[in-house]
Amino acid sequence: MKQHLILHVIAKIMIPFIMVFALYVQFHGDYGPGGGFQAGVIFGAGFILYGIVFGKEATMKIVPPPLVYTTAALGVLLYTGVGVAGMFLGGEFLNYSVLSADPVAGQHLGILLIEFGVGMTVASVMVILFLSFADYRQPDSQDTD
């Protein structure tokens, strides 16, 4: 699709908005529908759109697979880490109330962090899924789509 100028232009305009929307969903999840997972999917979708329009090589330059693998893992680590922090601060695993002096503030902080972890992992995995499928070649295939 490298020759479709219109797609190129529109994609370039849209992708930033998609990203911003993703961030909005990420951090507004407390007040409206949305949260880490939905934000992650949308964030990932931004890269996927980029990949569809500009080709997978270009996408891999922006988000090299090893980096994406790492961020996917870091998301899980962040989530688990917040849980473990709760354990070290005298609460149970995943108890956010102890993260801060005020339990409600602790809950806020905890949810913010773990939602971020969720978003990170989900976005990364979405990119991984797309890139893996896009990068795969059947042994007998001829086309270079």
Token look-up 């109330």 returns 97
Does position 99 interact with other proteins (CB under 8 A)? The reply is no
Distance in Å, CB of 23 to other proteins, minimum: 15
Distance CA 75, CA 50 (A): 23
Does 76 participate in binding other proteins (rule CB under 8 A)?
yes
Residue 41 within binding range of other proteins, rule CB under 8 A = yes
Looking at the Cβ atoms of 55 and 91, the one nearer to other proteins is 91
Ordered DSSP codes for 7-67: HHHHHHHHHHHHHHHHHHHHHHTTTSS--HHHHHHHHHHHHHHHHHHH-HHHHHHHS-HHH
Q: By CB under 8 A, tell whether 101 contacts other proteins.
A: no
Which two three-digit tokens encode residue 66? 């090893």
Per CB under 8 A, 55 contacts other proteins: no
Q: How far apart are CA 45 and CA 129, in angstroms?
A: 11
Interacting span for other proteins (CB under 8 A) from 4-12, 13-21, 79-87:
79-87
Residue 96 Cβ vs other proteins, minimum distance, rounded to whole Å: 6
d(CA 84, CA 99): 11
Residues in contact with other proteins by the rule CB under 8 A: 25, 29-35, 37-38, 41-42, 44-45, 48, 65, 69-70, 72-77, 79-81, 83-84, 86-87, 91-98, 103-104, 107-108, 110-111, 114-115, 117-118, 121-122, 124-126, 128-130, 132-141, 145
